Structure 1
Amino acid sequence: MSETIEIRTLTVEDYLDLKESMVSAYADMAGSYWREPTIQRLIKLFPEGQIAVTVNDKVVGCALAIIVDYDKFGDSHTYEQITGYYTFNTHNPKGDTLYGIEVFVHPDYRGKRLARRLYDARKSLCEQLNLEGIVAGGRIPNYEKYADKLSPREYIEKVQDREIYDPTLTFQFSNDFTVKKILKNYLPNDEASMGFATLLQWFNIYYEKDLDTIRYNKSTVRIGLVQWQMRDYGNLDGFLQQVEYFIDAVSDYGSDFVVFPELFNSPLMQEFNQMDPAGAIRGVAKYTDRLREIFQQHAVAYNVNIISGSMPIVIGEGLYNISYLCRRDGTYEQYIKMHPTPGEVSAWGIKGGSEIKVFDTDCGKIGIQICYDVEFPEPSRILAEQGMQILFVPFMTDTQHAYNRVRFCAQARAVENECYVAIAGCIGNLPKVNNMDLQYAQSSVFTPSDFAFPVTGIKAESTPNTEMVVIADVDLVLLKELHAFGSVQTKKDMRKDLYEVKWKKK
């Protein structure tokens, strides 16, 4: 005979089935079952928090919960205290934590993964209510068999390492709960657990503390990449006209970011072509401050955050390669290329920057690295540890070999740092500009490699060596899920007991 399984909210009419299942589930704790008035009170206080699982319309298990303001209780409470001595007057609809006060399944129906369904339903409720997470006190019913040779802490560690099986704690670990603390006398009558319990916690990765505020970080972020063609624009006005054209075009698609390539303003060097390469690039650097101001104006006017590619800049006596984040609220920040290529050093005398940071935007936390920078994994890891969700890489490469170095390393950064990486490059040629004659690019948006993302790890990419834009949506929620539930978790699984990535400059 086939069975029909349903997860639904508990009703008062379910009480007799509920009592029968609970008595059977707690056969080792005689008389441990909820009385009918108590269940009625719970259902009246918080109906959606009382979840039942039925098999062929019979209630065979449940998950009961209340909402609490957790700071009022802390980590050293007892079951009686958290439940208000079973009155549930501790329930606070405006609290921050879903507190699990009961989960059980009738022994005759175990092995059907019903408890997992109850837990999944409880997690979904926590997410829907935008609570920080779930906390519960958990029994360790097999501890009595080991109490003469293991402390509670040692027992828990061995359960976590799969050396010992505990029907409650093993299940909790498999459902992404962590142990915050060991509690004494949480349930004094629980002889199998020797009076001990685990204080368990599950974090809601979707929790938004400021969900009700006007300013919020978006979940789906639209990125526009400009694959810029190097050519003669005639003069500065012609160059700026093309810049605004691309910003306008990408903005029309509702993009949150527009990204220009590295040194995309190189056509302006034609004015200084009579100079040696070092003099010419210092000449074009005089336009950088003006270009940054124009990007700021466009960011506000077109309501889009702009990664300004990169441009040469003179600071003191030194020449650097700088990129700007021009936010659509009018503010800006900057990043200086950390690793100039040997060619940049020998031809232009470019120096490397010495600072790296994550930038806050209205669409999450972002990082910027310029071309060669992305070929060094350590700075990207530092950005990832600071919460970076999207890494933007303006680049300029002359040959396909050079391009592939950027591309392959950018894809590696996306996988190892569990983030999105967007690269934007220049194409075409500048026959009248020394040291800038050939360009090769295929601008792309790369993703981590797991089930929620494209199997190739490529969200979108341009046609190689064609002037165009790439528009792609990336979902930041998928990154949160990856960090918590990914097939592999490269950020979390770093062996920091053996090695670390450390920023040395103070």
Structure 2
Amino acid sequence: MIDSAKIELRNLSVEDYKELKISMLESYGSLAEAYWSEKEIKNLIKKFPDGQFCIIIDEKIAGCALSIIVDYNKFDDNHTYEQITGGENFSTHNKNGDVLYGIDVFIHPEYRGMRLGRRLYEARKELCEQLNLKSIIFGGRIPSYAKFAAELTPKQYIEKVKIKEIHDPVLSFQLSNDFHVKKVIKGYLAGDYESKEFATLMEWNNIYYSKPDKLIHTQKTVVRLGLVQWQMRLFKDFEALVSQIEFFVDAVSDYQSDFILFPELFNAPLMADYNHLNEAEAIRSLASYTDKLLETFVDFAITYNINIITGSMPQIIGEHMYNVGYLCRRDGSYERYEKLHITPAEASAWGMKGGTKLQTMDTDCGKIGVLICYDVEFPEASRILADEGMNILFVPFMTDTQNGYSRVRLCAQSRAVENECYVAIAGSVGNLPKVNNMDIQYAQSAVFTPSDFSFPVNGIKAEATPNTESTLLVDVDLDLLKELHAFGSVRNLTDRRKDLYSLKKKNPKNT
């Protein structure tokens, strides 16, 4: 071990060849006769200088990683080393390709144990991200396989290496550096008798990759959310309510927000005109405003260039009444979501019925989900949305007491952790003394995050002042979710025991 050596990671140069050859001969062992010639190295550096890395210690080459870029669509997974390298002339290198293909990595025996291989792999990953390539792929040797070939198939051998019952000096290292086995190839590298000429086709996926032919309107990675903590107050008429809606949409859009979220049943003040009716009749009268409000929200979404999540409103379909809301996109399109779980009070006082629609919705900021209030207390619903690719869960709610609010809040925080997503909740505050069953409100709107190093330690991105009318503007970074899914301290979605349990969505008939 070299205790005081200066370690330098840089690109390989033609002038390095003499030291490179010495290091190759020491490193290759039984394959030493297959070292790279000076002509081949010059050709490789000429074609792709940025892809060749070396580590220098005391003016010696302690390690090296060589690679090319290929258009992987021109190959299948059963290729050989000779085919992928173009007969070692590197004619397969294509600067417009989509995969960084590793053709060699070695560490000089004198410097093994210093984690130099990890540095080379990290340099490759950084290059892959910088060049916006889809992945890193290479054929990996399994040099310990010859010892077990009589009793284990390559597949069985790989499984035992994965669970650490067998240590393979190459495969174990690659697995520990976030590569996964894509396929086992027979006859990949002629003369590799230690591997019985088998190789593992290894892959590392670039989570930041985006197709280069995207249109002008690319998906954003940092998304600004605007949450409305709505004050319940009496309005003289429908137009006064619309004016207050427009005030918030205008204010939030001035900050270039991508979304604005309104609370559940925010239009309840309009029920004051129907307080002489029983509760069920009064809310059915409120439902008569829903279509006009939808038209208003669609118009505001276009005019103010913002995606509007309308909270919720009662809607009568056939004989039944539902609690529904709309995603009104800034391009003029819209989509309905429904409250699935009805509280006992909503069922007894209003005769409300649970909806049947549970699905993610596409936006220009990725896939989102919406669960209305009580729905967030059922973890199965949000897990299904997470499986469909949801990054942000919006929860419009209405709670009258602090303990009711606490149920919504605590469950929303749990959904953020277990589904590795952002959760935004928005509710109403204030009193409506002239509206039965809607007289008091308690809320504190907030945005919650997973709990890992890239996020707030308490999982709270931001929160409003309790019981005060306000707006909350919050930026959330979707790239942080990608990193969490791939490299998080814990990986709740990936680590589920699907061999023991599963969750499926049914498709009930509309009633």
1:416 maps to 2:418: yes
SS in 1 for 2:105: strand
Unaligned runs of at least 5 residues, structure 1: none
**Aligned-residue offset at 1:318:** 1.0
State the 1:57 CA deviation. 4.2
Task: Please state how far the C-alpha of 1:97 moved relative to its aligned partner.
Answer: 0.9
Give the C-alpha shift of residue 150 in structure 1: 1.6
Question: Counterpart in 2 of 1:286?
Answer: 288
For 2:256 and 2:474, the matched residues in 1 are separated by 11
Q: 1:353 aligns with which of 341, 352, 355?
A: 355
What letter matches 1:202 in structure 2? W
Counterpart CA distance in 1 for 2:226 and 2:115 is: 45
The separation in 1 between residues aligned to 2:309 and 2:499, in whole angstroms, is 37
Corresponding letter in the other structure for 1:239: L
DSSP-derived class of the 2:427 partner: strand
- TM-score, length of structure 1 as denominator length: 0.98
Counterpart-to-counterpart distance in 1, 2:441 and 2:4: 65
- What is the one-letter code of the residue matched to 2:217? R
Whether 2:253 is the aligned partner of 1:251: answer yes
- Determine the structure 2 residue equivalent to 1:63: 65
Q: Alpha-carbon deviations, 1:62-112, whole Å to 9, x = none?
A: 111111111211011110010110111111111111111011111111111
1:35 matched residue in structure 2: 37
Q: Which residue of 1 aligns with 2:107?
A: 105
What amino acid is the match of 2:130?
Q
CA shift for structure 1 position 210? 4.8
Contact 1:133 1:202 in 2 (8 A): yes
2:47 counterpart letter in structure 1: L
Match of 2:87 in 1: 85
Amino acid at match of 1:420: Y
Aligned-partner SS, 2:184: strand
Give TM-score, length-normalised by structure 2.
0.97
Q: Which AA in structure 1 matches 2:457?
A: V
* Cα offset, 1:504, TM superposition: 2.0
1:132 maps onto 2:124 in alignment: no
User: What's the CA shift for 1:154?
Assistant: 1.3
Aligned to 2:389: 387
- Give 3-state SS (helix, strand or coil) of 1:27's partner: helix
Between 200-209 and 49-58, report the one with greater CA deviation.
49-58
For the 8 Å contact 1:259–1:308, the answer to whether it is kept is yes
1:460 equivalent in structure 2: 462
Equivalent position to 1:17, from 16, 19, 44 = 19
* Residue identity matched to 1:262: E
Whole-Å Cα distance in 1 between the matches of residues 182 and 318 of structure 2? 53
- Give, in whole Å, the separation in 2 of the partners of 1:210 and 1:297: 33
Task: Report if aligned partners of 2:370, 2:395 keep a CA contact under 8 Å in 1.
Answer: yes
SS at match of 2:211: coil
The answer (yes or no) to whether the contact 1:188–1:195 under 8 Å persists in 2 is yes
Q: Say if 2:167 is the partner of 1:152.
A: no
2: CA distance, partners of 1:159 / 1:425: 51
Aligned to 1:172: 174
Q: Which amino acid aligns with 1:391?
A: L
List per-residue Cα deviations over 1:221-242 (Å, max 9, x = no partner).
0001000010112221221111
Correspondence 1:365-384 to 2 at 5 A: 365-384=367-386
Once residues 301 and 53 of structure 1 are traced to their aligned partners in structure 2, the CA distance between those partners, rounded to angstroms, is: 57
Aligned to 1:363: 365
Residue in 2 that maps onto 1:328: 330
Match of 1:310 among 309, 312, 317: 312
Measure the CA separation in 1 of the matches of 2:152 and 2:288. 72
CA distance in 2, matches of 1:57, 1:173: 30
Aligned equivalents of 2:477, 2:32: Cα separation in 1: 51
Equivalent position amino acid for 1:128 in 2: Q
Which runs of 5 or more structure 2 residues have no equivalent in the other structure?
none
Q: Distance in 2 between matches of 1:57 and 1:323?
A: 67
Aligned AA (1:342)? P
SS in structure 1 at match of 2:146: helix
The answer as to whether partners of 2:26 and 2:32 remain within 8 angstroms in 1 is no
Equivalent AA in structure 2 for residue 97 of structure 1: V
SS in 2 for 1:163: coil
Return the letter of the residue paired with 2:375: D
Q: CA deviation at 1:338?
A: 0.5
Distance in structure 2 (CA, Å) of the matches to 1:210 and 1:419: 26
Q: Distance in 1 between matches of 2:32 and 2:314?
A: 78
What does residue 485 of structure 2 align with?
A: 483
| 2:494 corresponding residue in structure 1 | 492
**d(CA) in 2 for partners of 1:393 and 1:378?**
15
